[in-house]
């Protein structure tokens, strides 16, 4: 079997027995029942994902994948295409939003060039990014397929390879991306995989006005009409309207799920990648944690399809992995509650009875 087939076959649901054991302990901790709400739900998930009552989440990595998009030629973004490479250099130098927020979580940031249009070899040569270039940007999806089916498989297997590469040193993954125009393919993916219209799945990206957004919707509708992606085949969706960094992230998520490691899904683009992963292996959703609610229109649709409610809602729309980084401390909190709090018996605290 290929790496992709092997990985898909290796993704199993959460461990229900460990979940039950975790629930039993959480029920007995010194607090009113379930008084830490969603942090306790998260603790259950961490136990089920890792198969452990002491879920390891201390060593953390944000994998920020970069790529360019042929569809940028249609004028769908507020920023020029060269910004992808400039921002990769900014992240590599430690000056971007993701660098600042990853430091809060004590997380490593690893940039992977999946196919930027510019030459990033100097950054790859000095070890500040990993080079896994599929091609210098995708083809324009408004005119035909964004990539070949082989390239789509290559994207996914690259993401799996990156997950495996960091398997020994990372216990908790976060996704991030950088790619001018990449809300456009993401909206196309979300529309196909949720059954929404292009209009429902399309927002203002990095900050376009209403008129430009209308144009963006037209471009996405054209891409869907030209390519007719099969909503039951995630690989076809990636091929027709995807992006190299989006496919790479889908692979990273599949790889993390096969390793039984939690993976925090950042914002809109990362969630589009998560939908691709879910489409290829439904059980992979068992390993996903939704970081934050993006203000990008369509994110809510994608989250609903994944069955996820995000941890944070702070009006973010940056990407790079910034929301995932900020959610890492919440994951740590959930783990500490499960492993460090005393039970009523251990602490000799009387239990309550709320009945009249």
* Of 151, 158, 129, the residue nearest 253 (C-alpha): 158
Quick check: 352 binds its own copies (CB under 8 A)?
A: yes
Measured CA to CA, the distance from residue 293 to residue 317 in angstroms comes to: 9
By C-beta, is 234 or 319 nearer to its own copies? Answer: 319
Does 337 interact with its own copies (rule: CB under 8 A)?
A: yes
| Options 11, 29, 65, 302; binder of its own copies; rule CB under 8 A | 29
In angstroms, the CA 58 to CA 36 distance is 21
Find the shortest distance in angstroms from Cβ 319 to its own copies. 8
Q: State which of residues 79, 135, 231, 300 lies at the interface with its own copies (CB under 8 A).
A: 79
- Residue 95 as a binder of its own copies (CB under 8 A): the answer is yes
Positions in 289-318 near its own copies (CB under 8 A): 295, 311-318
**Is 320 an active-site residue?**
yes
Per CB under 8 A, contacts with its own copies among 165-204 are: 204
Which of 127, 224, 253, 118 has the alpha carbon at shortest distance from 178?
A: 118
Separation of alpha carbons 329 and 290, rounded Å: 13
Q: Which is nearer to its own copies, 180 or 263 (CB)?
A: 180
94 vs 136 by CB, closer to its own copies: 94
Q: Given candidates 14, 52, 77, 284, which one binds its own copies under the rule CB under 8 A?
A: 77
Q: Which residues have C-beta within 8 Å of that of residue 299, sequence separation ≥ 6? A: 203, 267, 268, 271, 293
Which of 55, 67, 70, 97 forms a contact with its own copies (CB under 8 A)? 97
The angle formed by the CA atoms of residues 61, 270 and 283, to the nearest 5 degrees, is: 85
122 near its own copies, judged by CB under 8 A: no
Q: What is the maximum alpha-carbon separation in the chain?
A: 71
């Amino acid at each position: 079997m290929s790496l992709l087939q092997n990985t898909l076959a290796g993704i199993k649901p959460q461990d229900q027995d460990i979940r039950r054991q975790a629930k039993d302990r959480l029920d007995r901790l010194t607090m009113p029942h379930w008084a830490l709400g969603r942090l306790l739900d998260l603790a259950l998930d961490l136990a089920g994902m890792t198969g452990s009552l002491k879920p390891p989440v201390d060593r953390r990595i944000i994998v920020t994948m970069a790529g360019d998009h042929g569809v940028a030629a249609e004028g769908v973004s507020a920023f020029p295409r060269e910004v992808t490479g400039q921002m990769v250099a900014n992240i590599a130098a430690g000056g971007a939003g993701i660098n600042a927020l990853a430091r809060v979580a004590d997380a490593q940031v690893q940039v992977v060039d999946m196919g930027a249009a510019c030459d990033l070899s100097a950054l790859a040569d000095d070890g500040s990014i990993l080079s896994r270039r599929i091609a210098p940007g995708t083809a324009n999806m408004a005119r035909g397929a964004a990539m070949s089916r082989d390239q789509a498989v290559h994207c996914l297997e690259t993401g799996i390879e990156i997950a495996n590469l960091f398997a020994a040193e990372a216990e908790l993954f976060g996704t991030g991306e950088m790619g001018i125009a990449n809300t456009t393919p993401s909206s196309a993916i979300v529309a196909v995989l949720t059954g929404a219209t292009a209009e429902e799945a399309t927002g203002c990206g990095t900050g376009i006005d209403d008129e430009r957004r209308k144009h963006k919707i037209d471009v996405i509708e054209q891409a869907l009409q030209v390519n007719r992606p099969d909503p039951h085949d995630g690989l076809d969706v990636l091929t027709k309207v995807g992006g190299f960094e989006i496919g790479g992230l889908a692979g990273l998520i599949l790889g993390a799920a096969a390793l039984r490691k939690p993976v925090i899904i950042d914002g809109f683009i990362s969630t589009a990648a998560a939908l691709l992963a879910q489409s290829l292996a439904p059980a992979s959703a068992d390993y996903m944690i939704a970081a934050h609610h993006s203000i990008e229109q369509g994110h809510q649709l994608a989250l609903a399809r994944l069955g996820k409610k995000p941890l944070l809602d702070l009006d973010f729309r940056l990407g790079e992995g910034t929301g995932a980084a900020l959610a890492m401390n919440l994951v740590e909190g959930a783990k500490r509650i499960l492993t460090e709090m005393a039970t009523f018996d251990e602490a000799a605290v009387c239990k309550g009875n709320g009945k009249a």
